[in-house]
Structure 1
Amino acid sequence: MTATDPATEAFLAHRNLLFTVAYEMLGSAADAEDVLQETWLRWADVDLGSVHEPRAYLVRITTRQALNRLRTLKRRKEAYVGPWLPEPLLTAPDVAEDVELAESVSMALMLVLETLSPTERAVFVLREAFAVGYDEIAAAVGKSPAAVRQIALRARRHVDARRPRAVVTPGETRAALESFQRALETRDLQGLLDLLAPDVVMVSDGGGVKQAALRPIVGAGKVARYITGGTGKFGATLAVAPAVVNGSPALVLSLGGEVDGVLAIRIEDGRISGMYYVRNPAKLSRVGAEIPLARR
């Protein structure tokens, strides 16, 4: 690719947007990068003279490639050891400032999107996160505009019934994480219990490589004991640092200077109602450098 090539210039101008579309559809940065490579190969063969809106055309290609990859991911997830969580991304502060973008890539919402069919997910992501028109979405997913409207309505109802009920500011999440970190470092079981909602759910993803609970842990008492018991094995070698992951405050846990896991949380009614702990080493390569995301 050369900087003077019009096809390359158009692709690079929209690359962050295309990556964000693919990531929100797949929950995997590695697969999103593969989709971008496939998008580029197809875009490079397009007659640019016939393209009126490069952004729309590129989004269409990316969506189709992501839908194809979703089928592969489904088979991969069926054989996955333990719960599957999205690949965490270290994101720039401006992502957190964009409320809609931050919510669309949050761990909590990404997990809700996992419950949609591939087509429903594509329609929801394009419409809700990127405000793509129904006609453009229809061309991308191979449905009529009328069908896309119905799919969008069904997907929105499904997501709304499962997403957090109230918007929580980054400051509230950060404060909860600071309190959690203090309780964690001091092994304060009661402090943890005070932070956790009675019906809190903790999901941990080790991918069969790192130790993690094979099923979600439910209940404040069980979650608090699991956390204190697990971190107690590491002793003073465990380092905890704040970070902005998927557009929201999170914690990065390290052992011996190497990232061991990423912890994201969901807050409802002032308490932690959801915890998402990613330990699978294959999913931790994107927390060393900020990943640019975009909605436009």
Structure 2
Amino acid sequence: MTFQSESGDGGPDPSLTVIMSERRQLINLAYRLLGSLADAEDVVQETYTRWYAMSRQQRDAIDSPGAWLTRVAGRICLNVLSSARARRETYVGEWIPEPLPEPAEWTSGRAGGDPADRITLDESVNMAFLVVLESMTPAERVAFILHDVFRYPFAEVAEIVGRTPAACRQLASSARRRLRDAQAPATPAAQRARIVKDFKLALEAGDIDALIGLLDPGVTATSDGGGLVSTLLHPVEGVERIVRSLVHLEGRLSNLTMLERTVNGQPGLIAQEDGVTVSVYAFEVAGDRIKHIWAIRNPDKLRPWT
């Protein structure tokens, strides 16, 4: 995205560098709020469009351009979240947040050409975290992310959400409870990586006993193809049903290459066909078992991987 802005005397706008330096922060905020890189990019584009729609005098009167950009981006995200609920009711199959690779492996897509746009991968973007965020109301999600993740005071959050600081405090508290109730106890990173690797090896070998041993009794598998590719339309629950589904994939796996990769900062897998990534797998591990598997096959969500 390129903006050309001139000062009143025809010269370049000296604030352009300062304003554009906020872009990465805005992308990181919008992705966490929306779970979609494409939507996050659109929000940031709209935020800058509104900035440059103002006169030079109006922009100069703003004491903190970064705070202004954040407020505007937050409000746009709130509107997008409200409309997204209706859109996802008509989405074919399950909707899973867009998966992100390690920054060094970000290969293409609208944001892929600019390293400054890449998302900072931390606990607030792992797939289990983002999926829980999807269960929150738009106001809960915005209040929680702005305050607990980006450390904005509730007085500033209130300006974005359109509620009192006390109400925003309650929204964030409710969001924290949802996360505590939904998230599994933390498992060390090395142990998570070993379990995902063992899952890959068992899947490739068709070792049913090994697969059963790696899955939690209450395991759930969710797939997102966006109606564009053959996929499961509803989550599959239970070891027996999931192993049966995996066994049915065995013939197709012969044409695929399974690779260990980091997905949203956590150990995961990708499946490639002729060098093109066709599926991304994210996992939630509880103890020494896999509690949840997310398979993303919607091509629109695989842009940075392809």
Superposition TM-score, scaled by structure 1 size: 0.89
Contact preservation (8 Å) 1:92, 1:247: no
- Structure 1 residue runs of 5 or longer lacking an equivalent are 94-99, 289-296
Which secondary structure state, in structure 1, belongs to the residue aligned with residue 32 of structure 2?
helix
Q: 2: distance between equivalents of 1:219 and 1:149?
A: 37
1:149 is the counterpart of 2:157: no
Q: Following superposition of structure 1 onto structure 2, how do residues 37-186 of structure 1 map, counting pairs within 5 Å? A: 37-46=45-54, 47-92=58-103, 102-164=122-184, 166-186=185-205
Contact preservation (8 Å) 1:7, 1:43: no
**1:7–1:61 Cα change, 3 Å:** farther
- Structure 2 residue runs of 5 or longer lacking an equivalent are 6-11, 105-119
- Residue 56 of structure 1: how far off its partner (Å): 2.0
Which secondary structure state, in structure 2, belongs to the residue aligned with residue 234 of structure 1?
helix
Amino acid at match of 1:238: L
Structure 1 equivalent of residue 259 of structure 2 = 241
Deviations 1:156-190, CA, capped at 9 Å, x for gaps: 222221122x2233322211111111111111111
Q: Following superposition of structure 1 onto structure 2, how do residues 5-44 of structure 1 map, counting pairs within 5 Å? A: 5-44=13-52
**1:235–1:141 Cα change, 3 Å:** closer
1:272 is the counterpart of 2:290: yes
% identical equivalent positions: 36
**1:186–1:235 Cα change, 3 Å:** same
Q: How many corresponding residue pairs?
A: 280
Out of 47-56 and 145-154, give the one that drifted further: 47-56
Q: 2: distance between equivalents of 1:147 and 1:75?
A: 25
Q: 2: distance between equivalents of 1:11 and 1:157?
A: 36
Q: Following superposition of structure 1 onto structure 2, how do residues 175-214 of structure 1 map, counting pairs within 5 Å? A: 175-214=194-233
- Residue 101 of structure 1: how far off its partner (Å): 5.3
Q: 2: distance between equivalents of 1:91 and 1:11?
A: 26
Bigger-Rg structure (1/2): 2
Which secondary structure state, in structure 2, belongs to the residue aligned with residue 176 of structure 1?
helix
Q: 1: distance between equivalents of 2:15 and 2:102?
A: 27
Contact preservation (8 Å) 2:187, 2:287: no
Structure 2 equivalent of residue 223 of structure 1 = 242
Structure 1 equivalent of residue 113 of structure 2 = none
Structure 2 equivalent of residue 292 of structure 1 = none
Q: 2: distance between equivalents of 1:170 and 1:250?
A: 11
- Residue 261 of structure 1: how far off its partner (Å): 0.5
**1:124–1:269 Cα change, 3 Å:** same
